Structure 1
C-alpha cells in the first residue's frame, strides 16, 4: 500500500487504480471509490471499469452504467460484459443481449455464458445451448453446469452427465450437487 501511495503522489494513474483495487479488497469502499474516480477522470480505462464494478456492487447501478459506458468508449472490452450483466440484472434483457453479443465478438467467455443464460431464460434453448458450448470451449465450468442443466431439462440426461462431471471436476459446487441429484434420480447413486 505504501508504494502505491507514493506513486499516486507522483500522479501515476495505474497506481491509483491498483490502490483502489487494494482498498476495495479490504473493504475500504469509500476510499477505493475516490482513487478509482481520480484515475478514471485522468483517463485510466481499467479504473473506469473497476469503478463501475464497485458502484454496481453497492447498488448504484445508474452510476455504474455510466462508467461502464465510458470504459467501453475508451476500448475496455470486459466492460461490455459487465454492462450486459448489469442490464440483465435490471430487467433490460434486449439491451443486455446486445452488449453480451458485442462482448462475445471479442472472445469474452463470461459474455458467452451470460448470453447463454439470457437466451435460456427467454426460452431460446437451441441458441442458449450453442453459446453454452462456446463458453465451455473456453473452460467455463459455470457454462458446463448450465449446459448440463439445459440438456437434462430437455430430456437429454445421458448427454448432461458428462458435462456435470467436467464442471464438478473443475470445482463447480453447483455441478457437484446437480450431478448427485441426476445420479440419484436415475437410480445410479455413487
Structure 2
C-alpha cells in the first residue's frame, strides 16, 4: 500500500474514532498497522480502550519499531512497570538518544534505584539541561544536599517555572536559610496569585 493511501486510511480511522465508530476505525487501521506508525498507534488505542495490555504492548512496540520516539518511551515504561528493566532500558536509551526527555529522566531514576549512580548523575543532568521539570527539581535537590545552594536555587527556580510547584517549597526553604526574606516573600506572593498549594 502506498504511503498516501496509508495516511488517508489513518486519517479516516481518526475521524471515525472521534465520532465513536471504533469498529470502523479499527477496520481502517488494522491493514496498515504493521507498516504505518499511525496505524500501529491506532491499534494500540483500540487495545487500551479494550483493556488488552498484551495488544497495547504489541502495537506500541510496533510503532516504536517504525520510529515513533514517544512510543519508544511508552514501551520502556510498560516494560519497567512489568518488571523488565533490561528491555525497558534498551527502549529508553533509544528514545533518549533521539532527545526524548521523559526517557532521559526515566533512565536516571532506574539507574538510581539500581545503585548505578554515575549513570544516574549523567542522565539526570542531561534531562535537567533538556528542561524536564522533575529532573530540574531532582538536580536542585541534589545540589541542595551537597551544599551548593546557589545551583540548587537555579535548578529549583527553573523547575518551578516549568510547572513543578513542589520546587517552590524548597526554594523558600533555601532562601530562608540564606536570609533572603525578599525572595521568600516574592515566592509566597507568586503562589498566592496562582492559587497554588504546595
Instruction: Give how far 1:28 is off.
Output: 3.7
* Alignment match of 1:113 (pick from 137, 148, 168): 137
Report which of the two structures shows the higher radius of gyration computed on alpha carbons: 2
Which digits, 9 at most, give the CA deviation of each residue in 1:28-59, with x for residues without a partner? 43322111111122222211111112222333
- Alpha-carbon distance in 1 for matches of 2:85, 2:118: 17
- Alpha-carbon distance in 2 for matches of 1:165, 1:16: 48
Instruction: Give how far 1:131 is off.
Output: 0.5
| Counterpart check, 1:46 vs 2:70 | yes
**Cα root mean square deviation, aligned:** 3.2
- The 3 A distance-change label for structure 1 pair 163 and 28 is farther
| Counterpart check, 1:6 vs 2:63 | no
- The 3 A distance-change label for structure 1 pair 109 and 166 is same
* Alignment match of 2:111 (pick from 70, 87, 105): 87
Retained in 2: the 8 A contact 1:142–1:167? no
- Alpha-carbon distance in 1 for matches of 2:87, 2:163: 32
Retained in 2: the 8 A contact 1:84–1:98? yes
- Alpha-carbon distance in 2 for matches of 1:66, 1:120: 31
TM-score normalized by the length of structure 2:
0.66
Please list every run of 5 or more consecutive structure 1 residues that lacks an aligned counterpart in the other structure: 176-190
**Where does residue 102 of structure 1 map in the other structure?**
126
Retained in 2: the 8 A contact 1:5–1:19? no
- Alpha-carbon distance in 1 for matches of 2:64, 2:112: 25
Bigger mean CA offset, 42-51 vs 76-85: 76-85
Retained in 1: the 8 A contact 2:149–2:174? yes
Q: Which residues of 2 match residues 35-184 of structure 1 at below 5 A?
A: 35-151=59-175, 154=177, 158=181, 159-160=183-184, 163=187, 166=190, 169=194, 171-172=196-197, 175=198
- The 3 A distance-change label for structure 1 pair 123 and 75 is same
Please list every run of 5 or more consecutive structure 2 residues that lacks an aligned counterpart in the other structure: 1-21
**Where does residue 184 of structure 1 map in the other structure?**
none
